[in-house]
Structure 1
Amino acid sequence: MIEAELKARVHAPEQVMRRLDELAVARVEVYRDTYYDRPDGSLEKADQELRVRTVHGTGGTRTVLTFKDATVDESSGSKPEYETRVEDAEAAHAILRSLGHVEVIAFEKRCRNYEFQARGRLMLATLVRVPEVDGTFLEVETLVDEAETTAALKDVRAVLAGFGIGSEDLTRDTYTGAVAAQRARSGFISPE
């Protein structure tokens, strides 16, 4: 499946949150994301991602292992995504390290997730704050077969427009890149 997703900087987060609250009940969660690569950086060079995400929310804690393959839509950065829930977060980290992967970066995301139907699709909208990065972001995504990516992204753009988000607000900047840049500016030294 392709995660047809667009991400935008939000200039009026309270207004967008009110609109989302009218559509669905928010799931407020904190993500702890840890990204891995091979020692030679070959996953990043191939535009792939390997992540362990532990989600803390009112419904408890869950951990998912995610692999994202190379981008299939350059304008949005949409990628094929393979994800599975794992029972033991520490075991997942240990397995990846034992297989030779190294931790590249870990950080926290504070999220308000909303699931709703729009334009005939199940959409997930997430308001995101990353404590190390300035600003609030809105991600809107839907899962589709690769052949539907273009149509799905058109629908995602329409949903964003309904929240007052225009094409000038869209960004392909990654949280991993933004966090790494902020840490470099602040002199943060990685534990590796």
Structure 2
Amino acid sequence: MIEAELKARVQDPEGVMAQLEKRAPGRAEVYRDTYYDDPAGALEASDRELRVRTVHGPDETRSVLTYKGARVDDASGSKPEHETRVDEPDEVHAMLLGLGYVVSIAFEKRCRNYQFTASGRRMLATLVRVPEIDGTFLEVETLVDEDDVRSALDDVRDVLAELGIAEEDLTTELYTDAVAARRGA
């Protein structure tokens, strides 16, 4: 599946949150993301990602192992995504390190997630704050087959427009790159 996603800097976080709350109740969660690569940086060099994410929510803590392939749409940064839940994240971290991967970067995201249907698609909208990066971001995504990416991105753009997000607010900058730049890495 392809994660058809657009990300934007939010000029009015409170206003966007109020509009999203009308669509669906939000769920506050804290993501702790650890990205891995081989020592030569081959994954990053080929636009791929390997991540362990632990999500701390109000009712549970869960972890997922995610692999993202190279972009299928450069304008949006949409990528194929394969994800599976893991019961013992410490063991997965140990396995990845044992296989020779190294931690390329780790950081925290503070998120408020909203799940709803728009244009007949299941959508996930996430308001994001990364403590090391200035500003609030909004990600809107839906999972689709590769032949449906363009249409799905049009539907995601419609949601963003309804929320008052302008085209010039869209960004493809990765959190990993922004955090690394902030750290001077």
1:114-125 matches, cutoff 5 A: 114-125=114-125
Return structure 1 stretches of 4+ with deviation > 3 angstroms.
Answer: none
Q: Percent identity?
A: 66
d(CA) in 1 for partners of 2:25 and 2:65? Answer: 26
> Which position in structure 2 is the counterpart of 1:162?
162
> Which position in structure 2 is the counterpart of 1:99?
99
Shift of 1:27: 1.0
Q: Aligned letter for 1:163? A: L
- 1:48-71 per-position Cα deviation (integer Å, ceiling 9, x unaligned): 000000000012100000000000
Q: Aligned letter for 2:6? A: L
SS at 1:179 equivalent: helix
1:20-31 matches, cutoff 5 A: 20-31=20-31
- Aligned-residue Cα RMSD (Å) equals 0.7
TM-score by length of structure 2 reads 0.99
- 1:105-144 per-position Cα deviation (integer Å, ceiling 9, x unaligned): 0000000000000011000000000000000000000000
Q: Aligned letter for 2:2? A: I
1:98-177 matches, cutoff 5 A: 98-177=98-177
SS at 1:155 equivalent: helix
TM-score by length of structure 1 reads 0.95
d(CA) in 1 for partners of 2:173 and 2:77? Answer: 10
- 1:73-110 per-position Cα deviation (integer Å, ceiling 9, x unaligned): 01000000000000001001001000110000000000
> Which position in structure 2 is the counterpart of 1:65?
65
Q: Aligned letter for 1:89? A: P
Could you tell me which runs of 5 or more consecutive residues in structure 1 were left unpaired when the two chains were aligned.
none
